[in-house]
Amino acid sequence: MKGNSIYEISYKHLKEKRNIIFSIIIVLLIIVLYITSTIINFALQYQNNINKKSLNARTLIVERGSKTDEELNQISNINHVVLNVSDKYRAQFPVSAEEFDEKDIKGNIVFNPLLINNGIKIINGRTIESDYEILIPEEFYPHVDFNDYGEEVIYLDKIIKGKDLIGKSIKVYSEREHPVKSINQSWSEYDELYNKWIETRTPISLTIVGTYDSSVNLLEKNTCFMSLKMFDNVKSDINGGTASCTQDNICTEEWFKYVDRMIVVDEYKNLDYVKNELNNMNFSYYPVLNFDMGTFKMLVSIPMCVGLIISIISITLIRNFIAKKLYNKRKEIGLLKTLGFDNNQIINIYSKENNIILSTCFIIGFIIYMIIVKTIKYYIYVAAELEYYSMNIEIPFIYILLLIALLLLLSNYILKKKIIKYLSYNVSDLIGDSL
């Protein structure tokens, strides 16, 4: 101790055993509090995406059944319906993109048609203006690969900056003329047809004109956009097929076309209204994204409750710790009074000690929390959903600072109140054993 400031006394008190134990407990509580806040933050972001940005969340597929085209067209008259098109446009057009082949991984991208109200956010370049132009994600991963366990894997070092590809072209082939093997056709016949198609097919060159933020719309990082007309040109009208054979080995097959309708609502909040109207018009439908807001809110309330309980426990723990600590230090307070320290100086010594302990706990807790969250995000990204990795689920540091400031104010208030109570006693009572 150099003798320059009364706060040197505070620093010396930091290494007390009870302070160390208390700090460990507070760090653990802080980490739990941060993690529950993160879960809530993530859930609220996700909900916000659903509400405002996700196209799928506000898309319904209306089944044709026995309805005519004219009847299906009537759906456009329902308030808040902004798109009423063939459900073909909900499908995706997968493409083997040779331009992105690497020695151990193939180039694979998928195309979606660019519909109005996609909610696409252009990051670099511009949107599509002609049928031979496309948009790619700003964080572009033009592959689909699997590990030995059949799980989809993503190699982070192979993510490309989309803006670096603006101006480049990708070749695609229309699947309309892609031969489909009939059940009554032999494999050699089919191979002949297929090889002939490979030789004679004409590539369509599409130019990258812009990049978009795929995390906004919860899309995968190999999803690109082309114009509606181009999508119609390249995507087959066949949705699927079935085949059946009789006991006499007479086989028949049936091919299905896209006949249903894709309905897009302007905002998620109007979805229930549109559903109601469809019910009134006797349409059958199903949502593209099964998202139950009620269940979601109920699930979010769990981490909220946990967070609230942890907060109450933390505040109670801090309060009790301060009370017990000051009770055990009452003789020390009495001693400082006998040595001539005034009330403010005594309060400042203990406040400083308290502030250092709590601030350090918050910062250590924050560092550990960031390590945990980054690790979890990495494994989520690698294991499954690409888009979640780029979502900012960590709590913004400003909120951490506000939380720290709030708890410091509260703990200092409790501390000051307790010290003032002890300072109101006779000094002889403080240093004696009567308390």
Q: How many residues make up the chain in this entry?
A: 435
**One of 6, 85, 123, 315 touching other proteins (CB under 8 A):** 6
Minimum distance of other proteins from residue 3's CB (angstroms): 3
Angstrom distance (rounded) from CA 429 to CA 330: 9
**DSSP-assigned beta bridge partners for residue 243:** 253
| Choice from 99, 164, 272, 342 touching other proteins (CB under 8 A) | 342
Query: How many residues make contact with other proteins (CB under 8 A)?
Result: 26
The DSSP string of 65-125 is TT--HHHHHGGGGSTTEEEEEEGGGGS-EEEE-GGG-BTTB--EEEEEE--TT----EEEE
Distance from C-alpha of 97 to C-alpha of 345, rounded to nearest angstrom: 73
List the x/- string, 368-407, binding to other proteins by CB under 8 A: ----------------------------------------
What's the min distance (Å) between Cβ of 413 and other proteins?
22
Q: What is the DSSP letter of 51?
A: I
Of 374, 336, 354, 305, the C-alpha closest to 37 is 305
- Give the closest residue to 122 by CA, choosing from 210, 209, 206: 210
Question: Does residue 338 interact with other proteins by CB under 8 A?
Answer: yes
Interaction between residue 357 and other proteins (CB under 8 A)? no
Residue 34 and residue 27: Cα distance in Å, rounded?
A: 10
Options 180, 335, 382, 410; binder of other proteins; rule CB under 8 A: 335
Q: Using the minimum distance from each CB to other proteins, give the nearer residue, 248 or 433.
A: 433
Does 9 interact with other proteins (rule: CB under 8 A)?
yes
Q: Name the residue among 114, 116, 133 with its Cα closest to residue 125.
A: 133
Output the CA–CA distances (angstroms, integers) from residue 337 to 7, 124, 323, 430, 435, in the order listed. Answer: 16, 68, 19, 10, 16
Shortest Cβ 2–other proteins spacing (Å):
7
| C-alpha torsion angle, residues 156, 161, 162, 164 (rounded to 10) | -140
Site residues (CB under 8 A) for other proteins, limited to 274-333: 331-332
CB nearer to other proteins: give 211 or 348.
Answer: 348
According to CB under 8 A, which one of 5, 74, 76, 79 is a site residue for other proteins? 5
Q: In whole angstroms, how close is the CB of 4 to other proteins at the nearest point?
A: 5
Quote the CA–CA distance of 315 and 361 in Å, as a whole number: 14
For residue 124, the surrounding DSSP H or E stretch is strand 122-125
Question: Could you give the string, one character per residue 400-429, with x where binding to other proteins holds by CB under 8 A and - elsewhere?
Answer: --------------------------xxx-
User: Hey, is 286 helix, strand or coil?
Assistant: strand
Give the per-residue contact string, 10-29, with other proteins (x = CB under 8 A; - = no): --xx-xx-------------
Which residue stretch of 75-83, 135-143, 222-230, 342-350 sits at the interface with other proteins (rule: CB under 8 A)?
342-350
Query: Which residues of the chain form contacts with other proteins (CB under 8 A)?
Result: 1-6, 9, 12-13, 15-16, 331-332, 335, 337-343, 345, 426-428, 431
